[in-house]
């Protein structure tokens, strides 16, 4: 089921041209999720559109949606799907918070 949910999320991100999609396997280092997905949006409008597409796709596949944060500012939108947490960030925000380094290289996974 994790893999299916991860694929649903990545496909939705790709559909609206999210950039630099990175999938981190955090099963061994986290208690809150199995997968962390980080992507870049080209603008606040693009971030909101990507998030809306992702939410629509999750609901369409009848998967649970735990929560959504950041839709007002659209600098960093977090979509919590339970086993998969998706971060949609604008370029400057992504560079500033550098989640990739925070989680470490050993968590890198492929789509």
Instruction: Write the DSSP symbol of residue 72.
Output: T
Q: How confident is the model over 44-81, as pLDDT tens digits?
A: 999 999 999 999 999 999 998 999 999 888 899 999 99
pLDDT band at 102 (very low <50, low <70, confident <90, very high): confident
**CA–CA distance, 86 with 22 (Å, rounded to integer):** 10
**CA–CA distance, 24 with 17 (Å, rounded to integer):** 19
Residue with tokens 């199995």: 34
Per-residue CA distances from 82 to 9, 26, 74, 105 (Å): 12, 13, 21, 23
Total domains in the fold of the chain: 1
What's the pLDDT at 52? 95
pTM over 0.75: yes
What's the pLDDT at 66? 94
What's the pLDDT at 100? 84
CATH assignment at residue 42: 3.30.460.10
**CA–CA distance, 108 with 28 (Å, rounded to integer):** 12
Q: Which domain holds residue 55?
A: 2-109
């Amino acid at each position: 089921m994790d893999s299916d949910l991860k694929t649903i999320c990545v496909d939705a991100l790709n559909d609206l041209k999210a950039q630099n999609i990175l999938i981190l396997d955090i099963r061994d280092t986290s208690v809150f999720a199995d997968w962390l997905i980080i992507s870049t949006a080209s603008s606040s409008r693009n971030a909101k559109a990507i998030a809306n597409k992702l939410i629509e796709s999750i609901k369409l596949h009848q998967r649970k949606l735990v929560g959504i944060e950041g839709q007002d500012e659209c600098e960093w939108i977090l979509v919590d799907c339970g086993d998969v947490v998706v971060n949609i960030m604008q370029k400057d925000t992504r560079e500033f918070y550098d989640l990739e380094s925070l989680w470490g290289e050993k968590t890198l996974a492929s789509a």
